[in-house]
């Protein structure tokens, strides 16, 4: 039994024992009394002995002092039980960054906060922490009612949310507060690169992620094709973006930029009442991801733009690094956008670039371990190149085939079995068909089925081609029933066919926020690293200072390490660790503390016992007083 | 408190000697102001005993013997040696047989006034009223004067702390009367205890039939008093209980809330009269009723006297019940 005082200041109430002592001393003073011949007719019984009266006085004083001390202890919340007798200790980490102001996110944040509180039991102790680099304790451990009173403190501020310190603080709180169950609830939109960090918590902590991202927040925003400008440094660039606000009635537009390439200062921008603004955002260039082997872009308009440094690849086979050079600074906006999306996978070092042309590029195509080939239908291909693509497909490669409105005969159509095609255009852009009929079960589009992911619904296509093929598997359809994106399996490889180019004249998808995740998912799918059933590690031991390479649950110095979002996505969080923890905790909960299906024991509230003692002393005092008076 | 009746009737317990002068002043004594009018008025009253007395001198009370009073008792045939002055000549003329007229004897009695001088007697709720002891002293002086005026011997005993504090044997002299007054003037009204404890001893001091008048507030247990009255009645003494109470005790009118202190025990008690008045009055009446029943069961007389009543009236009321019947 370790007694602990929750509110030590209330112990000052024990000084109130001076009151009965003073009363006792005052009663000892000779008081002016009324003489009466005999008091025997006032008494129920005989007049008590004087000795008993003296004893009675001291007993009454003792009872009063004890009652006051016990009441002071009750108000001070003296707990004789262990803190582990808390039924549940929960810490709610609430993101208050500027990105939480998007659309209806504040209301959903409050709803999620109240729902998280409603899941707490009556014996739960809840603390609320702000998600910030220097997290503020919004509410210390207390009852659910006390925690609910902090709902008015959840308004976002202009600070950027760094989850690392907040989750560390929450883990420290939970480590100090022993309870039967521990829960860490994180309420955020999970935007930003900070979520890629690893957080270590106690193994008994149940981690729950509640995403309140506003999927429709950017519907009113129209993003012009951005362009990337070089800063002269190998690891930095400037991304120029022009943002149009279609809803001019809104007082402000909030732009949330997610991605690993943007530093903190460029995130979460609030534009007060502007219809158009150009942002110049510094971009940090990250080294190439080892699993992305390379992207070959075959486009006659930008010939010599994408070349594979094949020699360097074979010269450095021991290294995972692959060099993909981007040489054109004057490419079309679509190309620039593609490159911006693929930016982390590229090596921008000029010193390592080699300008390969002609046969070198074709040779590279045959021998490269490229994951993805982007092929426009207008690209003229000779027989050697066709053979190379066939070989590439047989080896399991992926070709993203973009069909534009050109009518030029393309021999690649025969390889994939396209019979005929016709060009279609929308007479009015407002009436252009939208993307619909998504096959969310496909690995490429499964990311859009997540609740925290921006939906691609609403993307308009102005120019497209109608395809006729028996082998094509439609992945995305237009509102008129035409195929927008399809898949054809050729050998071990596959061909994704887009019936419209990603030019501004054909679609507004590149300006939509859902485009970047789509491209990332395409790269991830072709690289074979990130899958729907992505590999995770469970139970591996990490040495001190070692960083996990895959998402999962690791053991580190006897504790479990949560590896959050270690995959290469730059946008949103992938909750691998959360699922693992939830399943593990559900198993523990079913088994119970002793391994059986035993309900948790209800802790005895010491306050009731103390109040009972105080009442006993009060009753005893009254009994003594009544025994000799009336 | 239980009273033990001596089986072999040893002599009376030793009594404190009556002092010629007043006792030394140790505590404040209540000032007793004698009322000459009351004393003079008492000489005009008669206190006749309801029982047959056996005095030595001529008096007003009935005697078991035949004497020379004016009260005709019986006729008795003349025998030789009878005084011819008592021969009823009319009966002799009518029946031709001599008869002697016999008359009841009238004798005096020995009265003992027993006054309670415990601390509770020194109480008066209103300064205009005398204390119970002052009232009792006035009554006692008047009764002594009354008995002396009708040729009865009257004595005085002051009881305190369950013992006789002062004692003056019954006598019919002016000096004895003054001595009694001095005893009452100098009495220290203090202490406590029951009045019943020394009563058997005092009854034995009377040496025969007599009148014992107890003047007290009787605010104590009545068990001992009942035993004492039983013993006194067995001695063929007539008993009169005069319970002197202050109006506050019988009516509890002032109803002051505060800490009440028992005058005899010093016990303190916080009393709220609003809550306790009805219960208090009920108990006081029950106590008086019990006291009266005990008194009547032993052929005694009980009188409840309030100190706000004039002693004249009380004295007249007491003697009116004892007037000679025509």
Residue range A182-208, pLDDT digits in tens:
888 888 876 554 554 545 555 677 777
Average pLDDT, chain A: 64
Residue A585 structure tokens = 């905790």
Scored b (16 or more CB within 10 A) or e, B119-147 reads bbbbbbbeeebbbbbbbbbbbbbbbbbbb
The interaxial angle of helices A50-75 and A18-28, nearest 10 deg, is: 160
How high is the pLDDT of residue A276? 65
Q: Residue A32 contacts by C-beta under 8 Å, 6 or more apart in sequence?
A: B259
Q: Which one, of A474, A289, A293, lies nearest residue A370 by Cα? A: A293
Contacts (Cβ under 8 Å, ≥6 apart) of A355: A304, A307, A325, A327
Q: Closest Cα of chain A to B255: distance in Å?
A: 11
* Strand A306-308 with A324-326, pairing: antiparallel
Q: What's residue B113's pLDDT?
A: 93
Of the ranges A86-100, A102-116, A323-337, which one carries the lowest mean pLDDT score?
A: A323-337
Alpha helices in A227-332 (DSSP H): 310-315
Residues of B in contact with A36 (CB under 8 A): 123, 260-263
A493 forms beta bridges with A490
Q: From the CA of A50, how many Å to the nearest CA of chain B? A: 8
Residue A551 has pLDDT above 80, yes or no: no
Predicted confidence at residue B16, as pLDDT, reads 47
Among B132, B220, B261, the residue with its CB nearest the CB of A35 is: B261
Instruction: Give the three-state DSSP class for A168.
Output: helix
Surface-to-core class of residue A380, CB atoms within 10 Å of its CB (0-12 exposed, 13-18 middle, 19+ buried): exposed
- pLDDT score recorded for residue A544: 56
Phi, psi of B46 (to 5 degrees): -125, 140
Residues 6+ apart with CB under 8 A from A71: A13, A610, A614
Distance from CA of B282 to the nearest CA of A (A): 9
Looking at the DSSP bridge assignments, the partners of residue A129 are A93, A137
* Whole-angstrom distance, CA of residue A522 vs CA of residue A448: 12
Say what percent of chain B tops pLDDT 70: 86
- Whether B285 has its CB under 8 Å from any CB of chain A: the answer is no
H or E segment to which residue A50 belongs: helix A50-75
C-alpha span between A377 and B309 (Å, rounded): 138
* Portion of chain B with pLDDT greater than 90, in percent: 22
Cα–Cα distance, A407 to B17 (Å, whole number)? 157
A70 CA to centre of own chain? 47
Whether A255 shows a pLDDT value over 50: the answer reads: yes
* ipTM (interface pTM): 0.76
The DSSP code for A262 is: B
Nearest Cβ partner for A37 among B263, B275, B276? B263
Distance CA A260, CA A568 (A): 9
Please enumerate, as own/partner, the contacts of B32-38 that have beta carbons within 8 Å and a separation of 24 or more.
B32/B133, B32/B134, B32/B137, B32/B138, B32/B184, B32/B185, B33/B134, B34/B138, B34/B141, B34/B181, B35/B138, B35/B142, B35/B311, B37/B312, B38/B138, B38/B141, B38/B142, B38/B311, B38/B312, B38/B315
pLDDT over threshold 70, residue A468: yes
Min Cα separation A623/chain B (Å): 16
Flag whether residue B283 sits within 8 Å of chain A, measured between CB atoms. Answer: yes
Query: Would you place residue A507 in the very low, low, confident or very high pLDDT band (cuts 50, 70, 90)?
Result: confident
Which range among A160-169, A307-316, A611-620 shows the weakest confidence by mean pLDDT?
A307-316
Q: Which residue of A has its CA nearest to B260?
A: A34
Nearest C-alpha neighbor of B147 from the set B103, B184, B111: B111
Both tokens of A1, joined, read 């039994």
The token duo for B249 is 């005790």
- The residue ranking higher by pLDDT, A566 or A470, is A470
Alpha-carbon distance values, B214 to A142, B191, B244 (Å): 79, 18, 10
> What is d(CA A334, CA B50) in angstroms, rounded to the nearest whole number?
144
Task: Report which of residues B206 and A348 the model is more confident about.
Answer: B206
Q: Which of residues 127-186 of B touch A (CB under 8 A)?
A: 132
Q: What is the pLDDT averaged over residues B153-165?
A: 90
> Inter-chain contact B262–A36, Cβ cutoff 8 Å?
yes
**Nearest Cβ partner for A39 among B121, B220, B267:** B267
Query: What digits encode the pLDDT tens for the residues A44-74?
Result: 654 555 567 677 778 888 888 888 888 887 7
Q: What pLDDT is attached to residue B287?
A: 92
Q: Is the pLDDT of residue A579 over 50?
A: no
Of A335, A315, A318, the residue nearest A327 (C-alpha): A335
Instruction: Supply the angle between the helices A606-628 and A50-75 in degrees, to the nearest 10.
Output: 160
CA gap A92, A139 in Å, rounded: 10
- For residue A256, what pLDDT is reported? 54
DSSP state for residue B201 in the 8-state scheme: H
Q: Which of A10-19, A336-345, A615-624 has the highest mean pLDDT?
A: A10-19
Residue A35: closest CA among chain B residues belongs to which residue?
Answer: B261
Sequence-distant (6+) residues with CB within 8 A of A258 are A191, A192, A267, A570, A571, A572
Beta strands in A285-344 (DSSP E): 295-298, 306-308, 324-326
**What is the reported pLDDT for A248?**
47
| Residue length of chain B | 326
The encoded tokens of residue B165 equal 């504090």
A52 touches chain B (CB under 8 A): no
CA distance B113 to B154: 7
**Rounded-to-integer distance, Cα B47 and Cα B318, Å:** 8
Residue A594 confidence class, pLDDT cut points 50, 70, 90: very low
Q: Which of A33, A43, A629 sits opposite B261 (nearest CB)?
A: A33
How far apart CA A512 and CA A507 sit, in angstroms, is 10
Residue A485 has pLDDT above 70, yes or no: yes
**Which residues lie below 8 Å from residue A413, measured CB to CB, with a gap of 6+?**
A377, A421
Which candidate, B183, B201, B153, places its Cα nearest to that of B17?
Answer: B183
Strands (E), A285-351: 295-298, 306-308, 324-326
Please check whether residue A630 touches B, CB under 8 A. yes
- Give the global pTM: 0.40
Q: Does position A108 have pLDDT exceeding 60, yes or no?
A: yes
Burial readout A29-64 (b: 16 or more C-beta within 10 A, e: otherwise): eeeeeeebbbbbbbbeeebeeeeeeeebbebbbbbb
Collapsing DSSP to helix, strand or coil, A90 comes out as strand
Q: How far apart are CA A470 and CA A598, in angstroms?
A: 59
Helix or strand run (H / E) with residue B158: strand B153-160
Separation between Cα atoms, residue A419 and residue A415, nearest integer Å: 10
Q: What Å distances lie between residue B266 and A33, A53, A81, A90, B260, CA to CA? A: 10, 12, 51, 66, 9
Q: Per-residue pLDDT for A590 more than 60?
A: no
Pull the structure tokens for residue B227: 């035993």
Q: What angle do CA B284, B286, B292 make, to 5 degrees?
A: 105
pLDDT at A568 over 60: no
Check pLDDT > 80 for residue A487. Answer: yes
Answer whether A135's CB lies under 8 Å from A165's CB. yes
d(CA A459, CA A450): 18
pLDDT, position A96: 76
Q: What is d(CA A83, CA A79) in angstroms, rounded to the nearest whole number?
A: 8
> What's the alpha-carbon Rg for chain A, to the nearest Å?
36
Name the average pLDDT for chain B. Answer: 81
pLDDT, position A532: 34
pLDDT of residue B142: 92
The pLDDT assigned to A565 comes to 32
Structure tokens given for A64: 């009063």
Give residue A24's pLDDT: 80
Q: How far apart are CA A479 and CA A457, in angstroms?
A: 11
Residues 428-487 of A with CB under 8 A from B: none
The verdict on B246 touching A (C-beta cutoff 8 Å) is: yes
Instruction: Say if residue B61's pLDDT is above 90.
Output: no
Highest mean pLDDT range out of A74-78, A149-153, A242-246? A149-153
Q: Which token pair is A403?
A: 């069909």
DSSP run (H or E) holding A244: strand A236-245
Which of helix, strand or coil describes residue A591? helix
């Amino acid at each position: 039994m370790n007694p602990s005082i929750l509110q030590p200041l209330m112990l000052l109430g024990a000084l109130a024992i001076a009151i009965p002592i003073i009363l006792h001393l005052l009663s000892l003073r000779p008081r002016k009394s009324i003489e009466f011949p005999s008091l025997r007719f006032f008494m129920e019984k005989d007049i008590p002995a004087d000795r008993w009266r003296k004893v009675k006085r001291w007993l009454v004083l003792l009872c009063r002092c004890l009652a006051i001390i016990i009441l002071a202890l009750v108000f001070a919340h003296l707990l004789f039980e262990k803190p582990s007798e808390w039924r549940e200790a929960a810490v709610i980490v609430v993101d208050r960054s500027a990105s939480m102001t998007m659309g209806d996110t504040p209301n959903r944040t409050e709803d999620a906060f109240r729902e998280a509180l409603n899941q707490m039991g009556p014996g739960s102790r809840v603390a609320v922490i702000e998600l910030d680099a220097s997290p503020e304790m919004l509410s210390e451990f207390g009852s659910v009612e006390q925690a609910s009173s902090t709902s008015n403190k959840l308004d976002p501020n202009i600070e950027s949310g760094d989850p690392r310190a907040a989750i560390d603080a929450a883990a420290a709180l939970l480590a100090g507060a022993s309870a039967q169950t521990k829960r860490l609830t994180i309420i955020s939109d999970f935007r930003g690169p900070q979520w890629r960090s690893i957080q270590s918590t106690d193994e008994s902590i149940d981690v729950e992620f509640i995403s309140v991202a506003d999927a429709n927040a950017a519907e009113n925003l129209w993003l012009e094709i951005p362009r990337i400008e070089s800063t002269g440094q190998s690891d930095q660039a400037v991304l120029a973006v022009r943002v149009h606000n279609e809803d001019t009635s809104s007082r402000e537009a909030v732009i949330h930029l997610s991605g690993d390439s943007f530093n903190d200062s460029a995130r979460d921008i609030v534009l007060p009442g502007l219809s158009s603004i150009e942002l110049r955002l510094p971009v940090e260039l990250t080294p190439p991801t080892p699993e992305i082997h390379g992207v070959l872009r075959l486009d006659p308009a930008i010939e010599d733009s994408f070349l594979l440094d094949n020699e360097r690849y074979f010269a450095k086979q021991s290294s995972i690094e692959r060099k993909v050079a981007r040489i054109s600074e004057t490419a079309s906006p679509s190309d620039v956008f593609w490159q911006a999306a693929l930016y982390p996978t590229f090596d921008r070092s000029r010193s390592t670039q080699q300008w390969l042309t002609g046969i070198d590029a074709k040779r590279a195509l045959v021998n490269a371990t490229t994951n993805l080939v982007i092929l426009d239908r207008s690209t003229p291909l000779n027989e050697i190149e066709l053979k190379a693509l066939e070989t590439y497909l047989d080896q399991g490669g992926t070709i993203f085939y973009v069909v534009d409105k050109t009518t030029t005969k393309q021999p690649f159509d025969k390889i994939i079995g396209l019979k005929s095609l016709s060009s279609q255009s929308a007479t009015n852009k407002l009436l252009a068909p939208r993307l619909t009929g998504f096959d969310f079960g496909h690995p490429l589009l499964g990311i859009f089925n997540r609740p925290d992911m921006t939906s691609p619904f609403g993307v308009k296509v102005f120019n497209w081609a109608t395809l006729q093929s028996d082998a094509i598997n439609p992945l995305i359809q237009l509102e008129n029933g035409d195929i927008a994106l399809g898949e054809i399996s050729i050998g071990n490889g596959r061909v994704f066919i887009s019936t419209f180019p990603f030019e501004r004249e054909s679609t507004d998808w590149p300006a939509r926020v859902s485009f970047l995740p789509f491209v990332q998912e395409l790269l991830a799918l072709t690289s074979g690293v990130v899958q729907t059933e992505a590999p995770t590690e469970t139970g591996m031991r990490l040495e001190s200072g070692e960083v996990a390479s895959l998402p999962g649950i690791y053991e580190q110095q006897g504790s479990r390490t949560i590896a959050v979002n270690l995959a290469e996505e730059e946008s949103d969080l992938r909750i691998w660790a959360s699922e693992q923890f939830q399943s593990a905790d559900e198993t523990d909960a079913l088994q119970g503390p002793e391994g059986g299906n035993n309900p948790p024991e209800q802790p005895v509230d010491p306050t009731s016992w103390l109040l009972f003692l105080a009442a006993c002393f009060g009753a005893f005092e009254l009994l003594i007083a009544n025994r000799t008076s009336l | 408190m239980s009273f033990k009746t001596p089986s072999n009737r040893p002599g009376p317990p030793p009594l404190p000697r009556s002092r010629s002068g007043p006792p030394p002043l140790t505590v404040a004594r209540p000032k007793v102001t004698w009322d000459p009018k009351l004393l003079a008025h008492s000489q005009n009253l008669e206190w006749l005993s309801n029982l047959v007395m056996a005095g030595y001198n001529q008096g007003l009370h009935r005697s078991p013997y035949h004497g020379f009073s004016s009260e005709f008792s019986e006729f008795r045939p003349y025998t030789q040696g009878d005084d011819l002055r008592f021969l009823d000549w009319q009966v002799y003329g009518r029946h031709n047989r001599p008869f002697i007229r016999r008359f009841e004897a009238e004798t005096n009695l020995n009265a003992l006034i027993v006054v309670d001088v415990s601390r509770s007697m020194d109480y008066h709720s209103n300064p205009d009223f005398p204390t119970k002891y002052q009232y009792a002293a006035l009554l006692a002086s008047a009764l002594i004067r009354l008995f002396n005026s009708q040729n009865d011997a009257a004595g005085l005993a002051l009881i305190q702390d369950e013992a006789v504090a002062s004692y003056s044997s019954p006598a019919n002299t002016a000096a004895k009367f003054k001595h009694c007054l001095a005893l009452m003037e100098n009495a220290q009204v203090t202490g406590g205890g029951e009045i019943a404890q020394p009563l058997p001893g005092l009854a034995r001091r009377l040496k025969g039939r007599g009148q014992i008048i107890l003047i007290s507030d009787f605010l104590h247990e009545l068990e001992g008093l009942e035993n004492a009255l039983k013993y006194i009645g067995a001695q063929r003494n007539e008993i009169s209980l005069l319970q002197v109470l202050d109006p506050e005790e019988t009516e509890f009118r002032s109803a002051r809330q505060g800490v009440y202190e028992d005058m005899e025990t010093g016990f303190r008690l916080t009393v709220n009269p609003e809550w306790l008045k009805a219960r208090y009055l009920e108990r006081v009446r029950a106590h008086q009723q019990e006291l009266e029943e005990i008194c009547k069961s032993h052929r005694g007389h009980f009188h409840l006297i309030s100190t706000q009543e004039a002693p004249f009236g009380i004295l007249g009321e007491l003697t009116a019940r004892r007037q000679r019947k025509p």
